[in-house]
């Protein structure tokens, strides 16, 4: 009897990704921490703690793959309305996580950035964050942006105010207000627009996140809860993104 050696190569999602067509910028709405914890009979805060493990893995996975910008919805302006116990726990988690991860960020050449109304963060949190941003400022790898106390509508409103001020001062003519000028007045002025936006937890909404910036992003929704999301899931989303035809208003024939 002949024995045939059958070699089965199991290709992971990562191996199937075309590295020449990576999204430059991936934005994620990390949702479902509370439900994840509740499902395990634990307090919501337990979910936030476990969500940090997903952040760590996804940041490493994104950097390893060669994604240039990763923007994580970490705390929305609306999240201030949660019970104060939860808000305090999240802010403390933020401080301790930055503290714990800073070494890893330096090792991995990650540049930390933040967008949102950061002045509303507790002082200790703001200082810790700013310290880490300063410390990683010279890093040239993945740009990791945390959206904190973030509201896209407020960002847009603030941009409109800034522009109005410039017009009032006479440094800007209304006819010179272009899309680029507008974008330069957003928190994200130093980031390209995300090509891929991921939301976990089976919710199909944007929740006031990057409304201007995702005008042409590919949207990817998964029912996985954030603490269950790992780099393999990110790779799966990127693979899905690469299967799409991005037409930007043109016909299929034009883009091919």
Question: Is residue 201 involved in binding ligand IPE (CB under 6 A)?
Answer: yes
Q: Which residues contact 202 (CB under 8 A, 6 or more apart)?
A: 32, 221, 222, 223
Q: What is the DSSP string of 198-211?
A: EE-TT----TT--T
33 annotated as a binding-site residue:
yes
Longest dimension (CA), the chain: 89
149 annotated as a binding-site residue:
no
> Annotated catalytic, 134?
no
Alpha carbons within 13 angstroms on the beta-carbon side of residue 28 total: 30
Question: Is residue 151 involved in binding ligand IPE (CB under 6 A)?
Answer: no
Task: Show the site string, 21-60: x = touches ligand IPE by CB under 6 A, - = not.
Answer: --------xxxxxxx-------------------------
CA–CA gap between residue 221 and residue 31 (Å, rounded): 11
Question: Residue 80 belongs to what H/E stretch?
Answer: none
User: Considering only 135-143, 183-191, 198-206, 246-254, which stretch makes contact with ligand IPE by CB under 6 A?
Assistant: 198-206
Question: Is residue 73 involved in binding ligand IPE (CB under 6 A)?
Answer: yes
CB of 196 closer than 8 Å to CB of 238: yes
Taking the complex as a whole, how short is the minimal distance between the CB of residue 208 and ligand IPE, in angstroms?
8
Instruction: Please state the φ and ψ torsions of residue 72, each to the nearest 5 degrees.
Output: -110, 125
> Annotated catalytic, 31?
yes
Task: Show the site string, 209-238: x = touches ligand IPE by CB under 6 A, - = not.
Answer: -----------------x------------
Taking the complex as a whole, how short is the minimal distance between the CB of residue 105 and ligand IPE, in angstroms?
20
27 annotated as a binding-site residue:
no
Taking the complex as a whole, how short is the minimal distance between the CB of residue 92 and ligand IPE, in angstroms?
13
Dihedral of CA 73/75/79/82: which sign? positive
Q: Which residues contact 244 (CB under 8 A, 6 or more apart)?
A: 218
Question: Is residue 31 involved in binding Mg ion (CB under 5 A)?
Answer: yes
**Which one of the listed residues 57, 79, 162, 193 is annotated catalytic?**
79
How many Cβ atoms from other residues are within 10 Å of residue 220's Cβ?
Answer: 20
User: Footprint of ligand IPE on this chain (CB under 6 A)?
Assistant: 29-35, 73-76, 79, 90, 201, 203, 205, 207, 226
User: Footprint of Mg ion on this chain (CB under 5 A)?
Assistant: 31
Active site residues: 31, 79
């Amino acid at each position: 009897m002949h024995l045939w050696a059958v070699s089965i190569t199991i290709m992971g999602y990562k191996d199937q990704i075309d590295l020449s067509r990576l999204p430059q910028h991936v934005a994620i709405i990390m949702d479902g921490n509370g439900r994840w914890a509740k499902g395990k009979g634990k307090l919501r805060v337990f979910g936030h703690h476990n969500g940090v493990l997903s952040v760590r893995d996804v940041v490493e996975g994104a950097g390893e793959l060669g994604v240039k910008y990763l923007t994580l919805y970490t705390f929305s302006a609306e999240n201030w309305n949660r019970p104060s116990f939860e808000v305090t726990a999240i802010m403390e988690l933020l401080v301790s996580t930055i503290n714990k991860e800073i070494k890893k960020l330096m090792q991995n050449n990650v540049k930390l950035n933040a967008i949102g109304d950061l002045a509303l963060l507790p002082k200790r949190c703001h200082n810790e964050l700013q310290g880490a941003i300063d410390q990683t400022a010279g890093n040239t790898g993945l740009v990791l942006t945390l959206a904190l106390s973030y509201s896209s509508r407020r960002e847009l409103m603030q941009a409109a105010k800034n522009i109005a001020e410039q017009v009032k001062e006479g440094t800007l003519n209304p006819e010179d207000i272009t899309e680029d000028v507008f974008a330069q007045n957003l928190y994200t002025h130093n980031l390209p627009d995300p090509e891929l936006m991921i939301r976990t937890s089976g919710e199909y909404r944007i929740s006031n996140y990057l409304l201007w910036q995702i005008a042409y992003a590919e949207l990817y929704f998964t029912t996985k809860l954030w603490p269950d999301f790992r780099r393999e899931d990110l790779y799966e989303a990127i693979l899905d993104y690469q299967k799409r035809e991005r037409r930007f208003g043109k016909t299929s024939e034009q883009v091919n």
